[in-house]
Structure 1
């Protein structure tokens, strides 16, 4: 009987690790005198990454839904949520996010790749159409759609933009004035 319990416990641990979510923690101190901390939680089964950026009033939460090819970001200081189509060829895969947790960007490396999105002025009325994870994130706040800008917008042209990327891995700039906020 004890042998069955031990075998069951070991099997449970192995299955739990195989199906478990992965977490990535990134702490950025001293960059422009600021301090921020990010968590990236990966749900491999549902193909979703949840990203939390803890930076006080400038903090934000995001859901990257790979199965729907959408991402959404809730900006705390704007009291708004932004939804956009995910560019599969440009976004890091869930596997790359998982590998990132074991890597630290070396000093002097080139900046991470980035995408720039322009926020529309039209509010989305039915956020539920994007699925439960995005609906849960954006529920109760004005939600807007953003389109990826084409061409090579330079970082210094990103005034009025919010950086909602993963530190050292990938940058997403959401740009534009959000009406009603």
Structure 2
């Protein structure tokens, strides 16, 4: 009986889901609300930012090594590979999302992606979680830009910030 209780307890921890709400003020003084939902069973995280026209939703599928961002202002979705050297894993995402922001914290690392002009024809190839996020809206693929970004002809960038731990710029003619 004790073994059954122990196994049940371990499974509950392994399949736990974290739901975290964070209220921040952005650099223009407006209220920004982010939610983080972590599903340890499926190894995915959903991060949403509610900020009027600048709102976005993202899905991080760590099993597939992909993330997707649905940009409200662009009425489009962007899918790319997770850079595991920079992006937080689920454990770190959960830990950082529950901590208070430190006033003197260094700026988060940032990554820049170039978005392709061609739409993705089959969103289902990215799995059920990203398909649910991007279904029925224009979806584009993006690749991370390495090296000297300042000298690249990147324009039309949309920036997102995952909590206070990662900044992402998606650049190109998204939704055009």
Shorter-chain TM-score range:
0.7 to 0.9
List aligned pairs for 1:151-162, cutoff 5 A.
151-153=147-149, 160-162=156-158
In structure 2, the residue matched to 1:169 is 165
* TM, length-normalised to structure 2: 0.86
Distance change (3 Å), C-alpha of 1:132 and 1:151: same
Match of 1:23 among 19, 22, 29: 19
Which structure has the larger Rg? 1
Find the counterpart in structure 1 of residue 80 from structure 2. 84
Query: Which piece of structure 1 moves more, 144-153 or 57-66?
Result: 144-153
Secondary structure of 1:56's aligned partner: coil
Deviations 1:60-105, CA, capped at 9 Å, x for gaps: 1110000000000111111100000111111101110111133122
State the distance in 1 between where 2:75 and 2:111 align: 22
Q: Which residue of 2 aligns with 1:32?
A: 28
Distance 2:154 2:102 in 1: 25
Cα distance, 1:175 vs structure 2: 1.1
- The residue aligned with 1:43 is 39
1:137 maps onto 2:133 in alignment? yes
The reply on whether 1:100 has 2:90 as its aligned counterpart is: no
79 and 106 in structure 1: CA distance in 2 versus 1, 3 angstrom threshold: same
The aligned counterpart of 2:49 is 53
Measure, in 1, the Cα distance between the counterparts of 2:173 and 2:97: 34
Matched, 1:69 2:61: no
1:134 partner SS: helix
Query: Runs in 1 of length 4+ with deviation above 3 angstroms?
Result: 11-18
Relative to 1, partners in 2 of residues 1:168 and 1:179: Cα closer, same or farther, differing over 3 Å?
Answer: closer
Deviates further, 18-27 or 113-122? 18-27
TM-score, normalising length: structure 1:
0.84
1:120 aligns with 2:111: no
Inter-CA distance 121–169: structure 2 relative to 1 (3 Å threshold): same
